[in-house]
Amino acid sequence: MKITIAENEKEFDTMAAWRIIEQILKKPSSLIGLSTGETTKGMHRIVSEIYEKYPFDTKETYFFNVDELTNLDRSYEGSCYAMIKKQIVDPLNIPEEHFIMPPTLSDDFERECRIFEEKIASLGGADLQMLGIGWNGHIGINQPGTPFERETWVSPMDPIFEERVRRETGVPDDHELGGLTRGIVNIMQTKKIILIAKGEHKADIIKKALEGPITSDIPASVVRLHPNLEVLIDRAAAGKI
C-alpha cells in the first residue's frame, strides 16, 4: 500500500486528475472506473481543463462509474450517469458507446448487474478505479456489513444520501430507491485502485480504514489487501493517521 498525502485540496485535485490522465497516456484503450461526489468534482474539472488546453488521444478510452442510482430517471442531475457525462465524458469527447453504465430504470436489475459486469469483462477488466470512501466506510454503495465476497448488486442507499435524493426529486417514501453497485469482489479485481479522500470530515474513517481491523463493518478496509493500491488523500483527511 502506497500512501500519498497532498498538502491541500487544490494539490489533491491536481494529483488525482493526473492519475487519470497518466493512465490514458500509458494505455489509450484503458477502462477507467470513476466515483461521484464532492471528492471527485475538482479532479474531473482539472482533467477536462488539461484536455482542452493540451488534447490527448481518448478515442479508445472507456469510462464507467462504480455505481448508479436505481428507480430514478437518468435525467435527474444527481444520477451518476448525468454527473460523469457532464464532468468528464463529454469534455473528453468520449463516445457514448465507450461510457459503460447500467440503466437507472429496469424491470430486472439482476440482469442489469450481469450485463454491466459482462461489458467490463469483455474489455479486459478495469485498469484503474478511482475509489471514493463514504463517511461510514462504504465503497461504491457497499454499505457496512456487506460481505467482501458480494458481487455486483443493488444495495440500499446510505440513509442520509437517500433523504437528500428524495428531497431533490420529490420521490415519496413508498417509492423504493437503491444503488446498483459493483460488488466488493468485483472492485478488488481492478488492476489498480486509488482510494481517494479529502477534507477533515474524512479523517476518522480514513484512520479506521487504514489502521483498524480489516472488517466488513468498514468496507473500505478490504482495499488494503489489494496488490496495487494507492491511497491519495489531502493533509486534512490524513490528520489522524
Q: In the predicted model, is pLDDT for residue 113 greater than 90? A: yes
CA 132 to chain centroid, in Å, comes to 5
pLDDT band at 170 (very low <50, low <70, confident <90, very high): confident
CA distance 160 to 165: 9
Residue 211 counted as domain residue: yes
Q: In the predicted model, is pLDDT for residue 199 greater than 90? A: yes
Residue 240 counted as domain residue: no
What residues form DSSP beta bridges with 155?
179
Q: In the predicted model, is pLDDT for residue 122 greater than 90? A: yes
Instruction: Compare 29 and 168 and report the one with higher pLDDT.
Output: 29
Residue 168 counted as domain residue: yes
pLDDT band at 171 (very low <50, low <70, confident <90, very high): confident
User: Cell numbers of 30, please?
Assistant: 484503458
Domain count, the chain: 1
Q: Beta-carbon neighbour count of residue 208 at 10 Å? A: 20
pTM for this one? Answer: 0.95
Q: In the prediction, which pLDDT does 237 show?
A: 98
Where in the sequence is the domain holding 82, given as residue range(s)?
Answer: 2-234
Residue 224 counted as domain residue: yes
DSSP string, the chain: -EEEEESSHHHHHHHHHHHHHHHHHH-TT-EEEE--SHHHHHHHHHHHHHHHHS----TT-EEEESEEEESS-TTSTTSHHHHHIIIIITTTT--GGGEE---S--S-HHHHHHHHHHHHHHTTS-SEEEEE--TTS-BTTB-TT--TTPPSEEEPPPHHHHHHHHHHH---TTS--EEEE--HHHHTTSSEEEEEE-SGGGHHHHHHHHHS---TTSGGGGGGG-SSEEEEEETTTTTT-
Q: In the prediction, which pLDDT does 123 show?
A: 98
DSSP string, 39-70: HHHHHHHHHHHHHHHS----TT-EEEESEEEE
CA 214 to chain centroid, in Å, comes to 20
Q: In the predicted model, is pLDDT for residue 174 greater than 90? A: no
Q: In the predicted model, is pLDDT for residue 176 greater than 90? A: no
Residue 239 counted as domain residue: no
Per-residue pLDDT, averaged over 66-95, amounts to: 95
CA separation (Å) from 41 to 35, 93, 148, 168?
Answer: 9, 18, 28, 19
**CATH classification of the domain holding 19:** 3.40.50.1360
Pick from 66-80, 139-153, 180-194: least confident: 66-80
Residue 241 counted as domain residue: no
Residue 86 counted as domain residue: yes
